A and B are shown apart, each in its own frame.
Chain A
Amino acid sequence: MIIQTSGLRKDFTVRRKVGRLRRERHVVSAVDGVDLAVAEGELLGYIGPNGAGKSTTLKMLTGVLTPSGGEVSVCGLAPVPQRTTLARRIGVVFGQRSQLWWDLPLRESFALLRHVYRVPAGDHAARLNRCRALLDLDEFLDTPVRQLSLGQRMRGELTAALLHGPKVLFLDEPTIGLDVLSKQAVRSFLGELDARGDTTIVLTTHDLADIEKLCRRLVVIDHGRVVHDGTLSDLQAAYRSKRRIVADLDAPWPGGTVAGATVERVEADGLRVTLTLDGATAGEVVARLAGEVALRDLSVLEPEIEDVIARLYRAAVPG
């Protein structure tokens, strides 16, 4: 296991104002006993609502924050005591915290990082060339970082995090706020990196397309605890998300029921009906439907991940 935690905890003390001068101290557990095991080469999606403890976990894994309790090891190292050794073996992209030099051209940031990480010139050039090709860096390599668009900067950040050939790449919201094209560029770049199999990737995101396209394994946390650990389809099965059939009809829907499905919605003056599958297969329901009404058009909708996640979050709220 390249990443292993058990009972990982982070408590914060917050002072809340009560009355004019008095303040009360509260201890809040941002991360409350997280057990995690990630094998080499995995791509893990670490998701959860705002304030669930995603970033805090990532910061403990990278040696930024000192855990309040529990065990943590990354690449066989203890992140805080062995921070500088670990830093050479991991790459980090924190969406909001730039690793780049604001006033210098992107190219110079990359050159500086070569010295900071002491990367042999040949390896550095090879990795940089790969990123230049895959992320289209050439058009803005000589632009000062402060003048880059967010999408350009994020492509720069990704490159910066990979120039020293890390074993593990941590990404905190890498696609947040990006335009569609940049999102796709980042996503397909990560997909390609994952396919090569020599970098373990841990990704936090709110972007459902990121989750669907990239993450074979999902760990969902809420209120600092892991509430799901498995594949996306496990998640959908566990939270009973259902497939839907949308049918366009020649004549208005006569009403009534269809065995094995529930009528969810009737629209367009009765000419469009949406059914939720309840145990029956799509084929069975379509056959029954065709026996009763004249069908013009049909589509089957897969459960939307928004829906799954929303159910999950609702289920996770402690009662």
Chain B
Amino acid sequence: MADGPGTRAAYRKLVAAQVRSQTQYRASFLMDLIGSTVLTLIDVVAVFVLFSVNGSLGGFGGREVLLMVGIASFAFPLADLAVGNVEWLPFYVRTGLFDAVLVRPLSSLGQLLAMDFAPRRIGRFVQGLVIYLIALVVAPVDWHAGTAVLAVLAPLAAAVFFGSLFVAGATVAFWWIESGEIAFAFTYGGKDFSTYPATVFGGFFRRLFAYGLGFAFVAYLPALALLGRPDPLGVPTWLHWCSPLVALIAAGLAALFWRTGIRHYRSTGS
């Protein structure tokens, strides 16, 4: 994305316009907001029910697992709020509306995110933030300067990681328009995977999701770093701190994939 104050102002105006258009349909906007709040409340209740039934998960105590849940459930709605609307891409590609995006002097991805910004997702984001703050207070975090920085960076890195997945998943639409469900398997599936300690999963599945696709870096490894615990599965301690780096790599790959995708955009007739 190109920088500069003018460009930032342009994106800000695009977001504001989208919010204005959405609020035109006031009833539907309100229903969305209520619906998402109820869903999040149910999520929170589910987490507490899980812990009241099961005191320990994969060798981790409830308060430790709550930290992993906290990172994942704060990061995911944050990513969803910022880039989740990239899921509209197949619609733009199918209708050829992406043409109109490409003839404007702004980044195509940036425009898509700004134009389809969904303010109703703020509800889930706020709920996730609350869960994470509670987790930080409740969990036995080994507080020092390093963990303080990581406590801020870890959910941001996880959000960047999820965001990269959203973008990469949507990009498939440039080749194959009916690709939505595949992307969801990785985004929502990955979110559910990251909510639990990697130790609860079995061999091949764990290796694939945790290290092959990098989901261990979302919540599990940074949570170990925050708690000052070694990994029962033997991942070296220095790697526990690497989630921001992994997130940057994921973002780079997603950007590269997006650029390749655009070159394969076929538009539609006439």
Contact = CB atoms under 8 A, between A and B. Distances in A.
Interface of A: 12, 50-51, 55-56, 59, 62-66, 80, 83-85, 87-88, 90, 92, 94-99, 101-104, 108, 112, 115-118, 144, 172-173
Output the residue of B17, B96, B100, B103 with the most chain A CB within 10 A.
B103
A117 B106 CA distance: 8
Contact of B263 (A51, A66, A118, A172): A66
Contacts of A85: 105
Interface string B68-108: 00000000000000000000000000001101101111110
Interface of B: 2, 6-7, 9-10, 13-14, 17, 20-21, 24, 96-97, 99-100, 102-107, 262-267, 269-270
Contacts of A172: 270
Contacts of B264: 66
Nearest to A170: B103
B6 A94 contact: no
B265 A64 contact: yes
B270 A96 contact: yes
Contacts, number: 84
B270 A55 contact: yes
A142 to B, nearest CB: 14
A88 B105 contact: yes
Contacts of A56: 267
Given A84-B105, A104-B20, A117-B105, A97 B266 contact: no
Given A64-B265, A83-B102, A85-B105, A115 B21 contact: no
Contact of B103 (A51, A87, A118): A87
Contacts of B96: 96-97
Given A84-B2, A116-B14, A63 B263 contact: no
Nearest to A63: B102
Contact of A115 (B2, B9, B20, B24): B9
B101 to A, nearest CB: 9
Given A84-B2, A104-B17, A116-B14, A173 B104 contact: no
Contacts of A112: 13-14, 17
B17 A108 contact: yes
